[in-house]
Amino acid sequence: MQPIERYLPWSIRILIAALFLVSAYGKVYPDPSAYGTISMFEIKQLYPLGFSAELAKIFSRSLIGVEFALGLLLLFPFDLKKWVIPALIAMLSIFVVHLTIEIFTTGNKGNCGCFGALLPMTPLEAIMKNVLSIGLLALLWKRYGAQLPERSNIWFLTTILSLCMLLMFIFVPTYKAATVIESSVGEPGPDTTQIAIGDPVVSSPETIVGTTEISKDTTKTKPKDVGPKPKKSGYEKHFANINEGKKIICFFAPSCDHCRATAKQLTALKNSTPGFPEIQILFMDEAAEEIPDFFKFAGATYQHKVLDIIEFWGVLGGNRDVPGVAYLWNGNLVKMYHSPEGPEAFNKEDLKTQLLKQKLR
């Protein structure tokens, strides 16, 4: 037997086992509690498939437990041809089908979540990886099946599987301990006494809901256009005055570099644009201890709140991504940016154009 024929079966087993173990670990990286990473997986991958919040929590932890178990079991000499290899091929095939549907429905964009935040990968890259893995497993099963151990031990298999799933629920519980929700009023910017672009001249733009103009005979008043008809934006739960006048509400993750860069651009725009709308921020409760450093990088402190990860994505929208920046006027959404890159990403020049359009109405 050639050396390559002797060592190839073990090489394939080690490679595929490593892929599954790294994939499972990636879904709980980098948070030791893994709550944030798994919540992202549930929101981005499971919710669109119709999973309820509770079912998504159970399924996500079970799936990662199964990945851990199959990766480990491939290294043991029990039921490889009968159960382990077919189970691996079946799981990879399901992933391929799911990712193919995702590409056709939403395009080949974003991180598919196969390796969580550890190794970002597009859906197409994940499909290629899975197809190659299926090919290697099929080769191992068909050509080198005679070299694989044929010992049967169903109790060992079920014990490892059950233990891995149980440990996932122990170390990554389906709930997160309550955290203190931060809310602070930022330091006044240099334009807090200036008017918002296109708004009537008053001393406090944040309280504008309407104004009047004295007519020539001083006996009648004439309404002045102050923007679209007020409506509820849905954000008033978090900021009471969000539907009054012009506002900028941002959706940031404290440790996100794109979010920090966007906040810095907004600060520069605010300082250079007379009457720039008030900025308010909703932070994702992920590395919340970095918020002071976030504001230091941004160059200003703004009114903000920290939301639980699930609630945060519920408010932003699961099909959107951070950094998110919404420009509101009287509660009406004028413009929404919600991507780290591409046409939906924040563009300060476009925002200036939007503000100017409203001024010229």
Residue-level pLDDT at 31: 55
Nearest to 253 by CA among 327, 315, 306, 194: 306
Long-range (24+ apart) CB contacts under 8 A made by 103-112 are 103/127, 106/319, 109/342, 110/44, 110/321
* pLDDT at residue 243, rounded to an integer: 93
pLDDT at site 222 = 41
What is residue 204's predicted lDDT score, i.e. its pLDDT? 32
Q: What is the pLDDT of residue 77?
A: 93
Rounded (to 5) percent helix, strand, coil in the chain: 50, 10, 40
What pLDDT does residue 310 have? 80
97-128 b/e (C-beta count within 10 Å ≥ 16 → b): ebbeebbeeeeeebbbbbbbbbeebbbbbbbe
Residue 71 in contact with residue 17, Cβ under 8 Å? yes
What is the predicted pLDDT for the residue at 138?
A: 95
Q: How many residues does the chain have?
A: 361
Residues 6+ apart with CB under 8 A from 353: none
pLDDT of residue 66: 96
Single-letter amino acid, residue 162: S
pLDDT value, residue 5: 72
Query: Domains, the chain, ranges and CATH?
Result: 3-171 (no CATH), 183-359 (3.40.30.10)
Mapped onto helix, strand or coil, the DSSP state of residue 9 is: helix
Torsion sign, CA atoms 148, 150, 154, 156:
negative
> Looking at residue 161, what is its pLDDT?
96
What pLDDT does 186 receive?
A: 44
Residue whose pair of structure tokens reads 């981005």 in the numeric block: 44
Render each residue's pLDDT in the chain as its tens digit; 361 residues: 566 777 899 999 999 999 999 998 888 776 544 455 677 777 777 777 778 878 888 998 999 999 999 999 999 999 999 999 999 999 999 999 989 988 888 788 777 778 877 788 888 999 999 999 999 999 999 888 888 888 999 999 999 999 999 999 888 887 665 444 444 444 433 333 333 333 333 333 333 333 333 334 444 444 444 678 999 999 999 999 999 999 999 999 898 889 999 999 999 999 998 889 999 999 988 778 899 999 999 999 999 999 988 888 889 887 788 899 999 999 999 999 998 888 889 999 999 888 887 654 4
Return the pLDDT at 291: 93
| CB-based contacts of 262, cutoff 8 Å, min separation 6 | 250, 252, 323, 325, 346
